[in-house]
Amino acid sequence: MTTSRIVPAVHGQREVAPDPDFEIGLAQHLRSQNDPPALAAIYSRFVDGETDLDALMRRAVLRALAKSLGNGVQVSRGVMFKHAETFAIGRGVFIGEQAFIQGRFDGRCEVGDHVWIGPQAYFDARDLIIEEYVGWGPGAKVLGSSHTGRPADVPIIQTELDIKPVVIEAWADVGMNASILPGIRVGKGAVVGAGAVVTHDVEPFSIVAGVPARVIGRRDHST
């Protein structure tokens, strides 16, 4: 018979201390002395390192590039990003190993406080909002755009991009290897099951699973 253990949450309960002044100053110095390509080159020197210095430098360079970065952000090994100048990342965010956040030069990517992003997650972050206390499972993906496919007499990849906003509301949880398609809103406190492909909006506090995702239950305040 399979048994389970209930243990306290860690990330969601973590207190966020202010980042030290020297780290804020380092990010400001890096920004004043380097353009984005140079900052990306600096980041590449520390992207796979395991030491505290490597982690500090990843965070400092991301802060130098981004619109804003809150206190206590953890940037794990192998994390990559594109157009970080469009990112606004809140306090206490964890970004797992080999996650990739792909912004767009004229887009927006907002990540709220205390979000947890699992390893190998992928974000098409051309127009993306993730609100506070969201859990994002390992390998889960969000797509924010697709080609129109019109006209039909040219290759699809030559047709225009249709960018649609994606919103993941507060407290939601997106399971491992799930996929969120363009234009979707996942409601507050909702659960997206592992491997689900979400093609329609998800109501708050509902539970969806499957391909395509369908409602299989609801959360109430006692569960």
Predicted confidence band of residue 33 (pLDDT cuts 50, 70, 90): very high
Neighbouring C-beta atoms of residue 78, cutoff 10 Å: 15
Residues 99 and 209 in one domain: yes
Q: What tens digit of pLDDT does each residue of 63-103 get?
A: 999 999 999 999 999 999 999 999 999 999 999 999 999 99
The proportion of the chain whose per-residue pLDDT surpasses 90, expressed as a percent, equals 92
∠ CA 68-74-75, nearest 5°, is 85
Residues 127 and 193 in one domain: yes
Average pLDDT over residues 161-182: 98
- Distance between CA 174 and CA 193 in Å, rounded? 7
Instruction: Give whole-number Cα distances, 139 to 23, 100, 106, 176, 179, in Å.
Output: 30, 10, 26, 6, 9
- The total domain count for the chain is 2
Which residue blocks in the chain are alpha helix, DSSP H? 21-33, 36-46, 52-65
pLDDT of residue 1: 67
Residues 110 and 174 in one domain: yes
Q: Which of 170, 165, 96 is nearest to 132 (CA)?
A: 170
Residue 122 lies in a domain: yes
**Structure tokens, 50:** 């395991």
Reply yes or no on whether the pLDDT at 223 is more than 60. Answer: no
Residues 31 and 119 in one domain: no
pLDDT of residue 221: 64
Domain containing residue 59: 20-65
Residue 71 lies in a domain: no
The proportion of the chain whose per-residue pLDDT surpasses 70, expressed as a percent, equals 98
Q: What tens digit of pLDDT does each residue of 193-212 get?
A: 999 999 999 999 999 999 99
HSE-up of 40 (CA within 13 Å, CB side)? Answer: 9
Is the four-CA dihedral 46, 49, 55, 59 of positive or negative sign? positive
CATH number of the domain bearing residue 114: 2.160.10.10
